Amino acid sequence: MESMIRVNLGSLSYNIAIGAGHLDRLGELITPLKLGKKILLVSNPEIFNYYGERTRISLEQAGFDVAICTLPAGEEYKTPETLQMIYDAALKYRLERSSTMVALGGGIIGDMTGFAAATWLRGINVVQVPTSLLAMVDASIGGKTGVNHPQGKNLIGAFHQPKLVLIDPDVLQTLPEREFRAGIAEVIKYGVIWDQELFVKLEQSQGLDNIQALDSGLLQEILTRSCQSKADVVSQDEKESGLRAILNYGHTIGHAVESLTGYTVVIHGEAVGIGMVAASQIAVKLGLWDEDSDRRQFAIIEKAGLPTQLPPGLNINDILDSLQTDKKVKAGKVRFVLPTRIGEAIVTDQVTSDIIRQVLESSPVRCLA
């Protein structure tokens, strides 16, 4: 079983190749792209330990010269300082403009490697090999790259499209369960905002809360539909001047929750889950979508084993405050993505603080503090 999805962006177009065992075909799959001979493979020690040698061998067998750069794992290292480690490796290995960085890892490795590639010699090639579900269906596609500023996630970054995204579902076997569920949050998102059929498949599936609950056919379909959704949206709006903003469904309140809990209590996908529950209720309050759809979405999020309530201790005023520093603020107004029916969403800046407060104070997304 394998699929190939095209992200259409003119001269920046590229493929997403999805298939079990693809990791060993990386070298073969990038050969037609006419990249330079030198590759810097960037990973973290744990992921490299699992998949680094297979990746390296696949590349070397296809004739590439491979150098390795491993970065410390964890969001706290997603900084300009860690970026210097990639730059230093790039210099040491004398990467040229035709050279390529390969990001082997989750969203953090992908974002940092993408940004390093975006900014080394004013832009060299990058190939994304995501190893987490979240990175597979979201972070690795669409060219958003970056590092954190001490006061905000991904504030420093660039758009830099990869030359290829290679997804091997087999590597999800080593992904911690909690991270798997967090990835499912983004899959649910695509079902709500873009792909009604995906939504229904998630609704009908027996279990969503761990990889063993999914048969490989369904997993391949979930990956393919999610990547296709993201590709559709990004192809229409690379730089997020319009449509692409709908991908932030669940992310407005989600980011605030992540940020206020220091990115440790609640991980990204979980925060998005909470954010989707909240956004769905806001949409109900505004009469944009019905309670039945809200309940159906809630049921899927619960089935995926994702949290649906704000973590204890969060202050609602702090959340409202935090929304003001979001990257998506425009002319001081907070923008929300709200579903209108299953498979469709809109962006609006017409959500008042009062409505946000009402939703955050009420069950199910009530503040437990």
Binding residues: 131-132, 144, 153, 186, 251, 268
- Retrieve residue 38's tokens: 């030198």
CA distances, 112 to each of 80, 159, 249 (Å):
9, 12, 23
Q: Is beta strand 14-19 parallel, antiparallel or unpaired with respect to 164-167?
A: parallel
Distances (CA, A) of 277 to 69, 188, 283, 306: 39, 11, 10, 11
Which residue number, 192 or 246, has a Cβ lying nearer to a copy of itself?
246
Instruction: Report the residue from 8, 13, 49, 84 that binds a copy of itself according to the rule CB under 8 A.
Output: 84
Q: Tally the residues of the chain.
A: 369
Is residue 163 annotated as part of the catalytic site, yes or no? no
Taking residues 195 to 234 in sequence order and writing x for each that binds a copy of itself by CB under 8 A, - otherwise, the string is ----------------------------------------
DSSP string, 255-274: HHHHHHTTTTSS-HHHHHHH
Closest among 267, 270, 276, 226 to 248, alpha carbons compared:
276
**Position 159 contacts a copy of itself (CB under 8 A):** yes
Task: List the interface residues with a copy of itself, window 236-255 (CB under 8 A).
Answer: 239
Closer residue to a copy of itself (CB): 239 or 341: 239
Cβ atoms 77, 67 nearer than 8 A: no
Which of the stretches 113-121, 172-180, 209-217, 261-269 binds a copy of itself when contact is defined by CB under 8 A?
A: 113-121
Q: How far out from the chain centre does Cα 90 lie? A: 25
Taking CB under 8 A as the binding criterion, the range among 116-124, 185-193, 212-220, 351-359 that sits at the site for a copy of itself is 116-124
| Residue in 134, 256, 237 with CA at minimum distance from that of residue 187 | 134
Number of residues that bind a copy of itself (CB under 8 A): 37
How many beta carbons lie within 10 A of that of residue 264, not counting itself?
10
Which of 181, 225, 255, 303 is the catalytic position?
255
In angstroms, what is the minimal distance from the CB of 24 to a copy of itself? 28
- 258 labelled catalytic: no
User: What residues are labeled active site?
Assistant: 122, 144, 186, 230, 240, 244, 248, 251, 255, 268
| Binding region for a copy of itself (CB under 8 A) | 36-37, 80, 83-84, 87, 91, 94, 96-98, 115, 118-123, 144-146, 149, 151-152, 154-159, 239, 324-325, 327, 329-331
